[in-house]
Amino acid sequence: MKKQKVFIQIIIILGIVLVLNLISNKAYFRLDFTADKRYTLSEATLDVLEGLDDVVTIKAYFTDGLPTQYQNIRQDFLDQLIEYENRSGGNIYFDFINPNESEELEQEAQQEGIAPLMVNLQERDQVKQMRAYLGATVEIGEEKEVIPFIRPDVGMEYDLTTAIKRIAVSDKPKVAFIQGHGEPTINASAQVVKQLSVLYDVEPYMITDTANIPTYYKALALINPKDTIPANHFTKLDKYLGSGGGLFIAYSNMNDQLNTQYFNTNPDIGLKKWLEEKEVILKDQFIVDANCGSVQVPQRLGPIMVNAQVEFPFLPILSNFSKHPITKGLEAVIMPFAYPITYRGDSSQVEFEVLARSSKQSGTLNPPVLLDINKEWTESDFTEPEQNIAIALSGPIEGTVSSKMVIVANGSFAVNGEATQPGQPPQQVNEDNANFASNAIDWLSDDTGLIELRTKGITSRPLDPVEDSTKTMIKYANVFAPIFLILGVGFYRRHRNNRKRQNWIEGNY
């Protein structure tokens, strides 16, 4: 009877396990305790998967038998694809291919644009090198996107979702980068353009004296103009805003050249006056911030010269963001040679929002400012906290139709620069700098779907600044606390032993 009862319990347990397995196959879920929710699909990804009309075929080219760190990437990618498949309602099909099995498969991977990596393998007492493939292709019909290398963690979801989105959208809206006033070319903003190309057709546009700016542009970007802008070009911009368009302005009002003895203001190109007519004031001051980036300075160390990193308050690192779709997920934006921006208009008519401010330890300097890399900065230099560095306007900025503007106090913060040689990759800017510009153009275009995914992941967790008085208190506490603790334990033990001795004398055993 007892054996029969145990047998029935085992059958019940096995049945429960079987049912749970069947449920888990139908309802895929994972418990995600990471701070950045890296194992949870973002709303942007879910929207893309639920909006698929055609079957997406994903071919993953992964070499077998790689070291653990690469095998983990393969397993994470497999888990990701399983979740994509379940969430897409059957519109995701994937297959794993080992290119190292044959020369034909290896040639196929390379023809798809997936180049091998050279990986070291430890075998007994020898180190061998082998060609490793960790890439994928994404196809819908005749459209194809290649992911040459599968990035780990949150980069995996971003690359995969944007690849699907890029080929799933056939008729993309347009955004334009204004040219003709000394702005960098569209290729000089490679990181921003690459991010925007997922949702938009990005193209250069030159304002003419005759034609109006096409209203089919969801947003315009005026980035770092250097030459004087004709008055009739501002008239064209006014008409574009009056039709409900969005305008992103990143302008360097202050001179940011390190090869000069003094920092000064840049010559007015007409943009300051035009913005002033809209009640936006670009101040002729430099913002300095204790939370800043650094520059390399040559220093002599005995007989040799070495490059030392020196903090440079003219390179504020922004982490003081408002709660806004543009700044969602941003952690640190470097904004060199920024200046304060203020708005003096009627906020009941046009909504004014500050997107980013300098830190609580910041200040301003009036030009001209002597360039002194080795200056000893003190707290007295940072007495004007939280200066406005990026703002957003929405409402009837021009005319009666609602439009949007974003103004940033530096023109080159998201510019990679022109490639010095053909085929050479551009210089990379800080990732959040590019994210900030792309998010702003998304918001101006009324499409914020990829912002959450673009900025997903924790990349920077700086320590909170500690006041000097607190540092002193902690220092002395570290020195004297152990001493007082030992003395306290000693007095306690002495008191306890005295009580035992007294009890012994009195006969209280």
The mean per-residue pLDDT over the stretch 424-436 comes to 87
What does the pLDDT read at residue 401?
Answer: 93
Strands 362-365 and 280-282: unpaired
Bigger pLDDT: 460 or 157? 157
Closest by Cα among 149, 152, 148 to 79: 152
Q: Pick the more confident residue, 319 or 13.
A: 319
The second-level CATH assignment, the architecture, of 6-166 is: 3-Layer(aba) Sandwich (3.40)
Q: Where are the beta strands (DSSP E) in 235-339?
A: 246-250, 262-263, 280-282, 286-289, 292-301, 304-318, 320-321, 333-334
**Would you say domain 173-454 falls under CATH 3.30.470.20?**
no
> Is the whole-model pTM more than 0.95?
no
| Residue 323 main-chain phi, psi, to 5 deg | -85, 105
Indicate the pLDDT class of residue 466, thresholds 50, 70 and 90. low
Q: By the 8 A CB rule, do 401 and 243 touch?
A: yes
The answer to whether 119 and 70 have CB atoms below 8 angstroms apart is yes
At 334 the three-state DSSP class reads: strand
CA max distance for the chain = 114
Label residue 24 by pLDDT band (50, 70, 90): low
Average pLDDT value over all residues in the chain: 87
| Contacts (Cβ under 8 Å, ≥6 apart) of 374 | 297, 310
User: Position of tokens 């035992």?
Assistant: 500
The residue with greater pLDDT, 453 or 228, is 228
Q: Where are the domains of the chain?
A: 6-166, 173-454, 475-500
The answer to whether 350 and 407 have CB atoms below 8 angstroms apart is no
pLDDT of 181 strictly over 90: yes
Strands, E assignment, 369-508: 369-370, 388-395, 403-408
Give dist(CA 351, CA 392) in Å, integer.
8
Highest mean pLDDT among 43-57, 109-123, 234-248: 234-248
Beta-bridge mates of residue 351: 394
Pair 212, 240: CB distance under 8 Å? yes
